[in-house]
Structure 1
Protein backbone atom coordinates (compact mmCIF):
# COMPACT_ATOMS: atom_id res chain seq x y z
CA UNK A 1 0.00 0.00 0.00
CA UNK A 2 1.37 3.43 -0.84
CA UNK A 3 1.63 6.45 1.44
CA UNK A 4 -1.49 8.11 -0.01
CA UNK A 5 -3.67 5.09 0.72
CA UNK A 6 -2.23 4.79 4.24
CA UNK A 7 -3.03 8.46 4.83
CA UNK A 8 -6.58 7.94 3.55
CA UNK A 9 -7.07 5.01 5.92
CA UNK A 10 -5.82 7.10 8.84
CA UNK A 11 -8.18 9.92 7.91
CA UNK A 12 -11.12 7.51 7.59
CA UNK A 13 -10.34 5.99 11.00
CA UNK A 14 -10.16 9.45 12.55
CA UNK A 15 -13.46 10.47 10.95
CA UNK A 16 -15.13 7.29 12.22
CA UNK A 17 -13.83 8.05 15.72
CA UNK A 18 -15.18 11.60 15.52
CA UNK A 19 -18.50 10.25 14.25
CA UNK A 20 -18.78 7.92 17.24
CA UNK A 21 -18.30 10.91 19.53
CA UNK A 22 -20.98 12.86 17.66
CA UNK A 23 -23.46 10.02 18.11
CA UNK A 24 -22.70 9.80 21.84
CA UNK A 25 -22.99 13.57 22.17
CA UNK A 26 -26.41 13.52 20.49
CA UNK A 27 -27.63 10.76 22.81
CA UNK A 28 -26.26 12.41 25.96
CA UNK A 29 -27.67 15.86 25.24
CA UNK A 30 -31.08 14.39 24.48
CA UNK A 31 -31.01 12.45 27.76
CA UNK A 32 -30.03 15.57 29.71
CA UNK A 33 -32.92 17.46 28.14
CA UNK A 34 -35.36 14.69 29.03
CA UNK A 35 -34.05 14.59 32.60
CA UNK A 36 -34.60 18.34 32.96
CA UNK A 37 -38.19 17.92 31.79
CA UNK A 38 -38.83 16.01 35.02
CA UNK A 39 -37.84 19.01 37.16
CA UNK A 40 -40.88 20.61 38.78
CA UNK A 41 -40.87 24.15 40.14
CA UNK A 42 -43.43 26.84 40.84
CA UNK A 43 -40.93 29.63 40.24
CA UNK A 44 -41.59 31.26 36.86
CA UNK A 45 -37.99 32.35 36.35
CA UNK A 46 -36.66 28.87 37.13
CA UNK A 47 -39.19 27.35 34.73
CA UNK A 48 -38.02 29.75 32.01
CA UNK A 49 -34.37 28.90 32.59
CA UNK A 50 -35.09 25.18 32.57
CA UNK A 51 -37.09 25.48 29.33
CA UNK A 52 -34.29 27.47 27.69
CA UNK A 53 -31.71 24.85 28.67
CA UNK A 54 -33.97 22.04 27.44
CA UNK A 55 -34.41 23.80 24.09
CA UNK A 56 -30.65 24.34 23.77
CA UNK A 57 -29.91 20.70 24.59
CA UNK A 58 -32.41 19.41 22.04
CA UNK A 59 -31.01 21.83 19.44
CA UNK A 60 -27.47 20.64 20.15
CA UNK A 61 -28.63 17.02 19.93
CA UNK A 62 -30.14 17.70 16.51
CA UNK A 63 -26.94 19.45 15.41
CA UNK A 64 -24.79 16.49 16.51
CA UNK A 65 -27.15 14.05 14.78
CA UNK A 66 -27.03 16.08 11.57
CA UNK A 67 -23.23 16.28 11.71
CA UNK A 68 -23.06 12.52 12.27
CA UNK A 69 -25.31 11.88 9.26
CA UNK A 70 -23.08 14.11 7.13
CA UNK A 71 -20.02 12.25 8.42
CA UNK A 72 -21.65 8.93 7.52
CA UNK A 73 -22.25 10.27 4.03
CA UNK A 74 -18.57 11.20 3.67
CA UNK A 75 -17.42 7.87 5.07
CA UNK A 76 -19.64 5.90 2.69
CA UNK A 77 -18.27 7.60 -0.42
CA UNK A 78 -16.58 5.21 -2.80
CA UNK A 79 -12.83 4.92 -2.46
CA UNK A 80 -10.76 6.82 -4.95
CA UNK A 81 -7.11 6.52 -5.88
CA UNK A 82 -5.18 9.57 -4.81
CA UNK A 83 -2.30 10.69 -6.95
CA UNK A 84 0.11 13.37 -5.91
CA UNK A 85 0.92 16.05 -8.45
CA UNK A 86 4.07 18.09 -8.03
Structure 2
Protein backbone atom coordinates (compact mmCIF):
# COMPACT_ATOMS: atom_id res chain seq x y z
CA UNK A 1 0.00 0.00 0.00
CA UNK A 2 1.38 3.40 -0.88
CA UNK A 3 1.73 6.44 1.32
CA UNK A 4 -1.40 8.21 0.03
CA UNK A 5 -3.56 5.18 0.85
CA UNK A 6 -1.99 5.05 4.33
CA UNK A 7 -2.88 8.72 4.77
CA UNK A 8 -6.45 8.10 3.58
CA UNK A 9 -6.83 5.24 6.05
CA UNK A 10 -5.45 7.42 8.86
CA UNK A 11 -7.89 10.20 7.99
CA UNK A 12 -10.76 7.70 7.76
CA UNK A 13 -9.86 6.30 11.19
CA UNK A 14 -9.82 9.80 12.67
CA UNK A 15 -13.16 10.68 11.08
CA UNK A 16 -14.63 7.40 12.30
CA UNK A 17 -13.49 8.21 15.86
CA UNK A 18 -15.03 11.69 15.60
CA UNK A 19 -18.24 10.12 14.28
CA UNK A 20 -18.39 7.70 17.22
CA UNK A 21 -17.98 10.63 19.63
CA UNK A 22 -20.79 12.53 17.87
CA UNK A 23 -23.07 9.50 18.18
CA UNK A 24 -22.29 9.21 21.91
CA UNK A 25 -22.91 12.95 22.33
CA UNK A 26 -26.28 12.61 20.59
CA UNK A 27 -27.27 9.72 22.87
CA UNK A 28 -26.19 11.63 25.99
CA UNK A 29 -28.09 14.71 24.82
CA UNK A 30 -31.25 12.69 24.25
CA UNK A 31 -30.94 11.16 27.73
CA UNK A 32 -30.60 14.64 29.25
CA UNK A 33 -33.73 15.75 27.39
CA UNK A 34 -35.68 12.76 28.72
CA UNK A 35 -34.47 13.46 32.25
CA UNK A 36 -35.56 17.09 32.04
CA UNK A 37 -38.95 16.10 30.64
CA UNK A 38 -39.50 14.00 33.76
CA UNK A 39 -38.93 16.97 36.09
CA UNK A 40 -42.19 18.18 37.68
CA UNK A 41 -42.25 21.79 38.84
CA UNK A 42 -45.07 24.12 39.83
CA UNK A 43 -43.24 27.32 38.99
CA UNK A 44 -44.04 28.68 35.53
CA UNK A 45 -40.62 30.31 35.25
CA UNK A 46 -38.86 27.04 36.08
CA UNK A 47 -41.01 25.20 33.54
CA UNK A 48 -40.04 27.82 30.95
CA UNK A 49 -36.35 27.41 31.73
CA UNK A 50 -36.60 23.61 31.54
CA UNK A 51 -38.45 23.83 28.21
CA UNK A 52 -35.86 26.26 26.83
CA UNK A 53 -33.03 23.89 27.82
CA UNK A 54 -34.89 20.94 26.27
CA UNK A 55 -35.29 22.91 23.03
CA UNK A 56 -31.59 23.82 23.00
CA UNK A 57 -30.59 20.21 23.64
CA UNK A 58 -32.92 19.09 20.87
CA UNK A 59 -31.27 21.49 18.45
CA UNK A 60 -27.85 20.24 19.47
CA UNK A 61 -28.93 16.62 19.00
CA UNK A 62 -30.17 17.46 15.51
CA UNK A 63 -26.86 19.12 14.64
CA UNK A 64 -24.78 16.20 15.93
CA UNK A 65 -26.97 13.71 14.04
CA UNK A 66 -26.52 15.76 10.85
CA UNK A 67 -22.75 15.95 11.33
CA UNK A 68 -22.63 12.22 11.94
CA UNK A 69 -24.52 11.61 8.71
CA UNK A 70 -22.13 13.84 6.81
CA UNK A 71 -19.17 11.96 8.27
CA UNK A 72 -20.75 8.66 7.26
CA UNK A 73 -20.79 9.94 3.69
CA UNK A 74 -17.17 11.05 3.86
CA UNK A 75 -16.09 7.74 5.37
CA UNK A 76 -17.64 5.79 2.50
CA UNK A 77 -15.53 7.59 -0.14
CA UNK A 78 -11.98 6.79 1.13
CA UNK A 79 -12.90 3.14 1.78
CA UNK A 80 -14.15 2.77 -1.79
CA UNK A 81 -11.01 4.42 -3.19
CA UNK A 82 -8.64 2.28 -1.10
CA UNK A 83 -10.54 -0.89 -1.96
CA UNK A 84 -10.49 -0.13 -5.69
CA UNK A 85 -6.70 0.46 -5.70
CA UNK A 86 -5.77 -2.69 -3.81
TM-score after normalising by structure 1: 0.88
1:52 corresponds to which residue?
Answer: 52
Displaced runs of 4 or more, over 3 A: none
Deviation at 1:20, TM superposition (A): 0.2
Structure 2: which 5+ runs fail to align? Answer: none
Question: Residue 74 of structure 1: CA displacement?
Answer: 0.8
Q: Which residue of 1 aligns with 2:15?
A: 15
1:31 and 2:20 aligned: no
SS of structure 2 residue aligned to 1:40: coil
- The whole-number CA distance in structure 2 between the counterparts of 1:35 and 1:65 is 20
Count of aligned positions: 81
1:61 maps onto 2:56 in alignment: no
1:75 positional shift: 0.7
Q: Would you tell me which structure has more helix in proportion to its own residues?
A: 2
Aligned-residue CA RMSD (Å)? 1.3
How far residue 13 of structure 1 moved from its aligned partner, in angstroms, is 0.3
1:79 is aligned to 81
CA distance in 2, matches of 1:33, 1:58: 7
